[in-house]
Amino acid sequence: MIRRIFLAFAAVILLAGPTLAQSVPTPLQFFGFEIGQDRKLADWNQLTSYYEKLAQTSQRVTVDTLGLSTMGRPFIKLTITSPENHARLAELKAVQMKLADPRKISGDAELQRLLDQGKTVVLVTHSIHATEVGGSQMAARLAWRMATSNDEKIRTILNNVIFLDIPSLNPDGLQWVVDYYKAGLGTSYEGGAMPWLYHFYTGHDNNRDWYAFTQKETVLTIQGAHNDWHPQIVHDIHQMGSNGARIFFPPYIDPWEPNIDPSLAAAVNQLGAYMAAEVTANGMPGVVTTGQYDAFTPARAYQHYHAGARILSEAASVRVATPIEIPRDRLGPSRGYDSSKPSWNFPSVWQGGAWRLADIVNYQEGGVLALLTNAAVNRRYWLENFYRIGARAVGKWGTWPEAWVIPAGQANTAGVNYVLRILTTAQVEVHQAAEAFAVGARSFPAGSWVIPMRQPYASFAQTMLEVQHYPDLREFPGGPPLRPYDVTAHTLPLLMNVQAVALPEAPRVALSAPIAIPEYGFQLPAHLQGRRASRVAIYKSWQEPMEAGWTRWVFDQYKLRYDTLHDADVQRGRLADRYDVVVLQTQSPRSIRGGFAAGSAPPEYVGGLGEKGVAELKTFVEAGGRLVAVEDATEFAAELFGLGVKSAVEGLRNTDYYIPGSILRLDIDTTSELATGMEREGIAWFDTGSRPFDVSDPAMKVVARFGSPDPLLSGWVLGGDKVAGKPAIVQAQVGKGSVVLFGFQPNYRGQSVATFPLLFNALRR
Ligand SMILES: [Zn+2]
């Protein structure tokens, strides 16, 4: 608490007029070790104190607390630029805001003046994936360098760039990872996986939230940095596996999502190539471009719909801060290059040997400095490009409708609110119609929401509302599919069961001012409320899958009362006395039963459910409880109870069958209690862990099947016939209890409102 007040106070004082009383401490003086030193990490408490110190002692740095993280830690942003720019920051922001919205610029004379005056705005974000610690450590040395160096290059950056830096996108995870790592030093699990998700709800998926905006850290970054400044460049700093290139910079590989302005793709290509050139020129081998990462999903790329170039960097990892040794012969073919031999996009081969945190920090810092130099030297290019992207959006692309309408009066108000919340958070202007209106044969009631498509962020609306037709890309003709880096569909009206209509002409009706961001408005179903509500628990493994975290998030949003069960809670037994329903999110039988192997984690986290826990779960169901299992966990349930059900796509080759994150049709048996409130036709989120079932037990009830003959609604399906018409949700009686098996994910990243009722209906006695 004291810290937060102090931070805000420090920022106010500095903006009011800094005094230079103390000198800026080096990271070594402050932390007592060099940034990047083997086995040494600064935690979030130390780092925030250091940034406060920088803000107190440097006229180039201010720090703002944007809010609090999920677990209540300060979430901060540094603003780094020359003292002269700091003195006129409000004026520079006003220039940027006008360039961001061409409707506000009066003519060419004003445009030229804005282009002369403006600065390139760059946002750099660090270590959203908290175990990728390099970025969070590098940020401190970089901030110190920017605060103190009088190098010509640094001065050019400070004069021409407003550098916004979010030194950790995940402060909770950073603190946990550093604490866990330090406690494990010198043990057999030093540098090993942490026994809980490094974001409380989403784990690694925290970097898949950049259009749904479900998590606090996402919203703080969107509102406190993206929407506050509309940066021309956003650089997100990550780490990848250890055995390939030493660092990746763009260009990305295909596909690019088709509503991203082509000049942004070109901007990303030139900037990433420049970073690679600078880092290589500085004597750092092993830089790859054009490998592995594509630019399709908006879940990772808010800025691509807001006129900003997205630069991802991925450095090769060590074991948290523990160095590793990579023999030369472990380097070899990877996606788009071979790390053992030179090629056009990997010109300088790294020869193997020791790899340490200091290397990661040096490569990452080299990349950021190159990026900032490009932003500074090409200031006018970045500003003009930024303006023109907005101008093209305001002029409307030929592929876009004139407007989208979300009709008023839809039964699914939670879904409608959610869609509106997403659009308005992304600064899409949404209006309400003052009265009923018609376009062609379609009529819409008063109060319907209208999204005119001649506005700066129309591309975001189009992307989120339209159906995706993901290209059928192969590694070679007739070969296996080219794996998308994330998923292939994000159509909100399907995911959220909301009607949205594209209009070929502008509606003739009076419109309200743009609406404010609405609340979710989730309503818990009646059977989960009050004294007679089902008593629900969700299994919380020490290897908890992200989907379980997302499920806790949904339960919390709905204010559902539930318990989380660790292995020891299950092993304690008497589950039937305490619960009616236990949920197992997607997790392999091996992981559920065995968890961490001995020696790979502290003893208290080793061993999974074990025989005792498994037996207690069995007793619970046979005595009248219900077990709900999703995707991989259905195999555990089938094994445990000897059910006549298995995956229908086990062992198929990916040249015959591949569905990497798409929205499928679902045919629902509306006579089932599990289908209460559902229509006969629905959707299912289908990913690589999903499966249709083969059911051999005639007593087993099929609650829903995947659509037939063509199951695809949005995204991409290879081998749809392997899925079409097959069971998707099945239910079996076991003793006095029952088991419900979901072959698909009923809660996709907190977004699949359309299938939440199926999940909630399963939470019955
Ligand atoms: Zn990452």
Instruction: Say how many Å lie between the CA of residue 388 and the centre of ligand 1.
Output: 31
At 478 the pLDDT is 86
Q: What is the structure's pLDDT at 5?
A: 38
Å from CA of 205 to ligand 1 middle? 10
The residue ranking higher by pLDDT, 16 or 327, is 327
Say how far apart CA 255 and CA 258 lie, in whole Å: 8
pLDDT of res. 72: 98
Contact criterion met (CB below 8 Å) for 760 and 528: yes
Q: Do 520 and 418 meet the contact criterion of CB atoms below 8 Å apart?
A: yes
pLDDT at 6 over 60: no
Single-letter residue type at 599? G
Q: Which residues surround ligand 1, an ion (CB under 5 A)?
A: 129, 132, 238
Residue with tokens 């900032």, as numbered in its chain: 372
| For residue 1, pLDDT beyond 70 | no
* Distance from C-alpha of 224 to C-alpha of 77, rounded to nearest angstrom: 8
Q: 132 alpha carbon to ligand 1 midpoint, in Å?
A: 6
List, in order, residues 6 or more apart from 136 with CB less than 8 Å away: 42, 47, 126, 127, 130, 167, 168, 174
Residues recorded for the chain = 765
Bridge partners (DSSP) of residue 449 are 406, 432
Model pLDDT for residues 331-389, shown as the tens digit of each residue: 999 888 999 999 999 999 999 999 999 999 999 999 999 999 999 999 999 999 999 99
The secondary element (H helix, E strand) that includes residue 357 is helix 357-377
**Per-residue pLDDT band at 291 (split at 50, 70, 90):** confident
DSSP helix/strand/coil, 448: coil
Residue 372 and residue 123 in contact, taking contact as beta carbons nearer than 8 Å: no
Distance from the alpha carbon of residue 28 to the mean position of ligand 1, in angstroms: 27
If you measure from the C-alpha of residue 131 to the centroid of ligand 1, how many angstroms do you get, rounded to a whole number?
A: 8
- Ligand 1 centroid distance, CA of 236 (Å): 9
- Paired tokens of 353: 């040997």
Distances (CA, A) of 669 to 391, 447, 720, 729, 746: 49, 34, 21, 10, 16
What does the alpha-carbon distance between residue 202 and residue 6 come to, in Å, rounded to a whole number?
30
Cα(168) to centroid(ligand 1), Å: 12
The better pLDDT of the pair 2, 678 is held by 678
Given a contact cutoff of 8 angstroms between Cβ atoms, the answer to whether 77 and 6 are in contact is no
Give residue-wise pLDDT tens across range 700-756: 999 999 999 999 999 999 999 999 999 999 999 999 999 999 999 999 999 999 999
Residue 599 has pLDDT above 50, yes or no: yes
What is the distance in A from the centroid of ligand 1 to the CA of 130? 8
Backbone φ and ψ for 409, nearest 5 degrees, come out as 85, 10
Using alpha carbons, select from 698, 687, 699, 696 the residue that is nearest to residue 743: 687
The Å distance, Cα 331 to ligand 1 centre, comes to 21
Distance 239 CA to ligand 1 centre (A): 5
Q: Where are the beta strands (DSSP E) in 462-545?
A: 501-503, 536-539
> Under a CB-based contact definition with an 8 Å cutoff, are residues 730 and 700 in contact?
yes
Measured N-to-C along each axis, helices 2-16 and 44-57 cross at an angle, to the nearest 10 degrees, of 20
126 C-alpha to center of ligand 1: Å? 10
What percent of the chain lies above the pLDDT cut of 90?
Answer: 96
The pLDDT value given to residue 476: 87
Average pLDDT of 679-683? 98
3-state secondary structure of 404: strand
pLDDT band (50, 70, 90) for residue 15? very low
Mean pLDDT of the chain: 96
Distance from residue 161's CA to the centre of ligand 1 (Å): 26
The alpha carbon of 596 and the centre of ligand 1 are apart by a number of angstroms equal to 22
CA of 135 to the centre of ligand 1 (A): 10
Q: How far is CA 505 from its chain centroid?
A: 35
Q: Where residue 13 falls among pLDDT bands split at 50, 70, 90?
A: very low
pLDDT tens-digit readout, 495-537? 999 999 999 999 999 999 999 999 999 999 999 999 999 999 9
pTM for the full predicted model:
0.96
379 three-class SS: helix
* 546 CA to centre of ligand 1 in angstroms: 15
Residue identified by tokens 């070790």 is 33
Residue among 163, 177, 159, 152 nearest 43 (CA): 177
Query: Are the C-beta atoms of residues 206 and 132 closer than 8 Å to each other?
Result: no
Compute the distance from residue 169 Cα to the ligand 1 centre, in Å: 11
In the reported structure, the alpha carbon of residue 595 is separated from the centroid of ligand 1 by a whole-number distance in angstroms of 23
Rounded distance from Cα 301 to ligand 1 centre (Å) = 14
| Cα–ligand 1 centroid distance for 238 (angstroms) | 4
DSSP state of 353: E
CA of 248 to the centre of ligand 1 (A): 12
| Distance between CA atoms of residues 610 and 591, nearest Å | 10
Cα 621 to Cα 571, 609, 732, 738, 740, distances in angstroms = 14, 16, 11, 6, 11
318 alpha carbon – ligand 1 mean position (Å): 13
Q: Would you call 229 helix, strand, or coil by DSSP?
A: helix
Angle, alpha carbons 748-749-750 (nearest 5°) = 90
Which of these, 4, 320, 362, 322, lies nearest to 176 by C-alpha position?
320
- What is the average per-residue pLDDT within 116-145? 98
What pLDDT is attached to residue 335? 86
- The pLDDT value recorded for residue 440 is 93
* Residue-level pLDDT at 751: 98
Q: Say how far residue 107 (Cα) sits from the centre of its chain.
A: 39
Q: How far is CA 375 from the centre of its chain?
A: 26
Structure confidence by residue, pLDDT tens digits, 636-671: 999 999 999 999 999 999 999 999 999 999 999 999
128 CB neighbour count, 10 Å cutoff: 27
How far does the centroid of ligand 1 lie from the alpha carbon of residue 377, in Å?
A: 29
HEC-encoded secondary structure of 112-134: HHHHHHCCEEEEEEECCCCCCCH
Q: Are 693 and 730 in contact (CB under 8 A)?
A: yes
- Taking CA atoms, 423 is separated from 222, 414, 753, in Å, by 13, 14, 16
Virtual torsion, Cα 406, 412, 416, 422, nearest 10 deg: -140
